[in-house]
Structure 1
Amino acid sequence: MSLIVVITAVDQLVPEDLHLGPLLMIAPAVTASFAGAWLTGLIGFLSMGAEADIGWHFGMLFSREVLVQILALAVLTALNVFFAVMRERRLRQLAQVRSVAEAAQYGLLWPLPGRIGPVRIACLYMAAEDEAQIGGDLYAATRIPGGVRLMIGDVRGKGLSAIGEAALLLGAFREAAHRHATLPDLAATLEHSVARYLADFEPTAEAGERFATALLLELPDDDHVIRMISCGHPPPLLLSPSRSLTVPSLHLAPPLGIAEAGPDAYTIDVVSFQPGDTLLLYTDGVIEARDAYGRFYPLKTRAAQWTKAGPESLLHHLKRDLLAHTRGRLNDDAALVALHLPPDNHAHRRHGHAIHSNEFRPS
């Protein structure tokens, strides 16, 4: 609106051989870039009125030059209104897709509570596909008598195509986590669930190529340890407030869906988890994220910078750093979960023991 007034006023003040009327086309063109159809049409109509006023001021209202300019403004306004209508329609459709995706994410990947039992939890999920809120990475946690059980997993594939397997694995974990006394029994049940699903729904062309990695954890309330079973999943990082970072050495079982196995096929690894420690769980979408030169994201090096950060702050730093590393675009879904045992739990739990681990200290 101000641009129309300025162009009209200046055109009437400059010498008659200077014609600024064609600049009025700028107003509807600029308006169409951010406004809706009604405002775009209004600005176009006012631009035509301003052009007519300029022509009337100079006694040239019905000249061919002024009439052509008014006609050009009318055509430009009509096109801008059309594109504004199409953009608004697309934005409405996009908003509907986002709302459905958000509802699906909430229904499938339930947000983890900020605290379960004595443990503080923070989680982060970044989908690889544009406009997608969920994909093939997953996590879940539940309270059981005497402790907490948690799973983080990664279904082969990414984005929306992997949601079916992710939903199956999450549902199986939520149902079985309360029913089985030991982690090997739980792992075997999840393996049977995935195997049954693949037998019924796996395409023939992809036979043997669909599977899921998973890391199962159990945190007892009465001991300073974490029990873990890794089904082909990357090992977590253990951050201590002394600015040290360790990588627990875990026995690796095959990913879920590769070969049916009973409880005897799974080995429990026990890792010390002292008050003040933070355990960082992640999927391979994090460590396999590449920068412009094809270099993988150095999660251990970067996480070691924030060993004293709380779980929420740690994930906030890692998210910003990961997106900066990849220039804001991930090639695979990525999930991070941080488990933190506050120091005030020292009086409530006994000391545990640690297995051998590889220690990493920032330089």
Structure 2
Amino acid sequence: MGRPVVALARVPYVAPPLLLLGGVAADVFTPRPYYGLPLLACVSMVAGMVYSFRASVLFAVAACVAAAGAAGYASREFSALLTDVLAVLVVSLVGLWIKWLVDRQGRNLALALNVAEAAQRAVLPAPPADVGPLTVADRYVAAQAGAAIGGDLYAIQETPFGIRALIGDVRGKGLRAVSAVSVAVGAFREAAEHVPTLHDLADRLDRALDREGARRRDSEDDIEGFVTALLVQIPPSGDTVTVLNRGHPPPYLLHDGAVVCLEPTHPELPLSTGLGPSHGDPVEETFPFAPQDSLVLVTDGVTEARNPDGVFFDVQRGLGDTGLRRADELADALVKAVTEWTGGQRQDDMAVLVLTRGG
């Protein structure tokens, strides 16, 4: 399959010279009125699809010269020769003008995408590669093409209470969810330094999202309705991991080649539902975290990824099959496995945050 695909990919590049040669042959060897003029006129337009502007100009000049040479070889009248050259020249100029417009729009689009990505990354900056005893890796695949981020969010930072991390998922996807992402990440950055427990931290996030939602409720820039969130705390020693789950897919703990799904024993409602927790105060659960262990945090773009038959991706199996230990390798392998499972379809925003304890 590989060679036919490569051969097809090369067809546009050989089309302009083939049209040039075909136009000359048709102009010289076919009887009137079956000239090769249409083929020569198309040369610069087709060249503009795959070649640079300068190369397209060269093809346009070659087409005009070829039209003149073919007409001269056929001993046509000067008026016919001039008409042929002018016809090819006019169509070539139109093709070059279109090429210039497309190139300019492409440059403007690239600039706009760069600015948008910089703005989005200011909302959701990449975490540091090392935080305390942890090695960190993150991967993000937005569902909306052309976007660097969407409705998923994550953050990690050192605090007086240990290392704290957040991963969450705003209801919905795309750029409209970025408002809620900015509020949640900003509230986490500020509150993580001051509140003593993960329960208090979740409460701060809850109130921040509710306030912002109320403020924007009557505007066109209304934020999405609720946010699932998973809060993690690791002490400076790194020997335990405490998890508070607010309606988010559970994390996965990799220990000695085994993958354990840390399902919450007391499921809670997401943030910003307006209903509060479902069982009183949310329950923080603590698990051992040995050297070389990894904690993998994901969003539902991973857990709910489906193949063409509608079968959900098995995260535990996907992580267990890797046999990897480095945080960046685990993150890359998981994203690759999900992409292959879905056939490359972007079904939802997908975020992965891997925390690996050093040995």
TM-score by length of 2: 0.84
Q: 1:24 aligns with which of 9, 16, 40?
A: 40
Q: Which of 285, 288, 294 lines up with 2:310 in the alignment? A: 294
How far 1:206 sits from its partner (Å)? 12
> Which letter does structure 2 place at the counterpart of 1:314?
L
Please give the per-residue CA displacement for 1:231-265, whole angstroms capped at 9, x wherever unaligned: 11110111123x21111131322111113648961
**Inter-partner Cα distance in structure 2 for 1:338 and 1:47:** 58
Q: Give the secondary structure class of the aligned counterpart of 1:113.
A: coil
Q: Secondary structure at the match of 1:267?
A: coil
2:67 corresponds to 1:51: yes
Q: Write the deviation string for residues 52-86 of structure 1: whole angstroms up to 9, x where unpaired.
A: 0222233225364x555434423431332232123
Secondary structure of the 1:306 match is coil
Q: CA deviation digits over 1:98-157, x for unaligned, max 9?
A: 111221122111111111000111000111111111111000011013520000011111
Show the counterpart of 2:146.
131
Q: Does 1:314 align with 2:324?
A: no
Which of residues 170, 173, 176 is equivalent to 2:191?
176
Tell me by how many angstroms 1:7 deviates: 2.9
How far off is 1:31 after superposition?
Answer: 1.2
Structure 1 gaps of 5+ residues are 345-363
Q: Distance in 2 between matches of 1:39 and 1:137?
A: 44
Superposed counterparts of 1:243-258, under 5 Å: 243-250=257-264, 251-258=266-273
Seen in structure 2, the aligned counterparts of structure 1 residues 102 and 269 have a Cα distance that, compared at 3 Å, is same
Instruction: Give 1:27 deviation, angstroms.
Output: 3.2
| Aligned mates of 2:98, 2:62 — CA distance in 1 | 19
| SS of alignment partner, residue 126 of structure 2 | coil
Give the Cα separation in 2 of the matches to 1:240 and 1:276: 8
Matched-pair identity in %? 32
The answer to whether the aligner puts 1:80 opposite 2:80 as a matched pair is: no
Aligned residues: 341
**Structure 1 residue matching 2:78: 3-state secondary structure:** coil
Counterpart of 1:347 in structure 2 is none
1:191 corresponds in structure 2 to: 206
Native 8 Å contact 1:152 1:215 kept in 2: yes
* Pairs within 5 Å for 1:1-363: 3=17, 7=21, 11=25, 23-25=39-41, 27-60=43-76, 62=78, 64=80, 66-67=81-82, 69-145=84-160, 147-203=162-218, 210-222=225-237, 224-241=239-256, 243-250=257-264, 251-259=266-274, 261=276, 265-342=281-358, 344=359
**Residue 265 of structure 1: SS of its match in structure 2?**
coil
Root-mean-square deviation (CA, aligned residues, Å) is 3.2
| Structure-2 change in CA distance of 1:209 and 1:119 (3 Å) | closer
Structure 2 portions without partners, runs of 5+: 1-13
Listed one character per residue, the Cα deviations across residues 243-298 of structure 1 (whole Å, up to 9, x for unaligned) are: 21111131322111113648961211111211111111001112222332333222
C-alpha spacing 1:261/1:23, structure 2 compared with 1 (3 Å)? closer
